[in-house]
Amino acid sequence: MMLEARESIEQEIWWEPKIGSSNIWFDNWTKLGALNYVVPQSWQINEQVEDVSELMTDGKWNISKLMQLFPEDIVQHIIQEIDIKYTSNEWDITWWMMTSTSKFTVSSAWQLRRQKANVIVPFQNMWIKGVPFKISFFMWRLWKFKVPIDEVVASIGIPLVSKCCCCQNDQIETINYMFLCGELATKVWRYFNMGAGLSMNCVQFPGMNIPTIWHQMVQFFEGYKPTVICRIIEWRRPAPGIYKCNTDGVAKGNPGPSSAAFCIRNEKGDLVYAAAKTLAYGTNIVAEAIRMGLRHCVVKQLFPVIIETDSMTMKMILNDEWKVPWRSVQFHNFQELQSQAKRILNLEKRGIPNLRIRTIQDKAPD
């Protein structure tokens, strides 16, 4: 293996001319590679001239000598690109051309020697920077059918009585059942789907005929044109000692029955206070809670505080231009919240983003 790699590796080692001790034909002193393999096959090589020092006169290139030995394009390259730093007591220095520092690294040599195959999109989506290695590795094993479950064991000829260990149903332990449509898998999918604002049964979307076989399902979604537009909404913790107040409002119709809500969290993501109010008949402009959150922060002295909202009418609300009657629903601790609100806060506390979804079409793929 080392002998096989030698030829390609040596072409990336540059011998910087000093005293001119490099071999003219077999050392890469021009940065073009060994000239024995670079010059045209029809070119007659003068092997009697061996050392680079024979091409120098008084520490400079001997142009006439270069013209005798090499084609014109190589001579021009040597004159323009290879600068002689002649010293009478220093041997030629080697530099590694594959790194910006000119220092040899195993990783750069590996990149030079490796034979790259075509990119496999599913694997590219598994091995993503930032995803924990154990997650990517498990997804790779799952894709390669290398997880130790009954279906895999039976496929290699070992007889057994299969029963899924994750639920009470007498179901055969298969990849599709354990990770997609089983009792436990359905609970996991539903938990994260509800937190992201999605509503689905297992991974079945309304109006879509999704295959139940794992590989067919992956191919289906790779060619799927989405019927919704999703935006990732990520809640970021404030700096230590700072509170964050998130506010939002909605109107059913414009105008129509409205409501507003806000929640205040600390730098750990823990809930400090939350409130929701049913507002009078109005528009979605009225249904904003910035003033509500600020008022509570003033009363409880929760400062400094960051106000987050997606409202385009922040200035109007902060200027107290709207006077709306409301009745309040207040939450003084986390346990008083509804289950869906608890789920969203827990997801955001763990740094798991939400999805903001907008339908763009109803047609399912063919």
pTM given for the model: 0.36
Give tens-digit pLDDT for 63-119: 888 888 899 999 999 888 888 877 777 888 888 988 888 888 888 888 888 777 788
Closest CA to 24 of 10, 40, 36: 36
Cis check: omega of the bond before 304, within 30 degrees of 0: yes
Domains and CATH numbers, the chain: 2-113 (no CATH), 150-231 (no CATH), 243-350 (3.30.420)
DSSP 178: I
Cα–Cα distance between 251 and 233 in angstroms, integer? Answer: 21
Counts of helices then strands in the chain (DSSP H, E)? 14, 11
Return contacts of 102-108, CB within 8 angstroms, 24+ apart: none
User: What's the CA angle centered on 294, arms 288 and 300, to 5 degrees?
Assistant: 140
Q: What is the pLDDT along the chain (366 residues), one digit of tens a residue?
A: 556 677 778 788 888 888 888 888 888 888 888 888 888 888 888 888 888 888 888 888 888 888 888 999 999 998 888 888 777 778 888 889 888 888 888 888 888 887 777 888 888 888 888 888 998 999 899 888 888 888 888 888 888 888 887 777 778 888 888 888 888 888 888 777 766 555 554 444 445 566 666 667 667 767 766 555 666 778 889 999 999 999 887 777 666 778 888 999 999 999 999 998 887 666 554 456 777 888 899 899 999 999 888 776 665 656 667 654 445 567 778 888 888 788 788 877 777 766 655 555 444 444
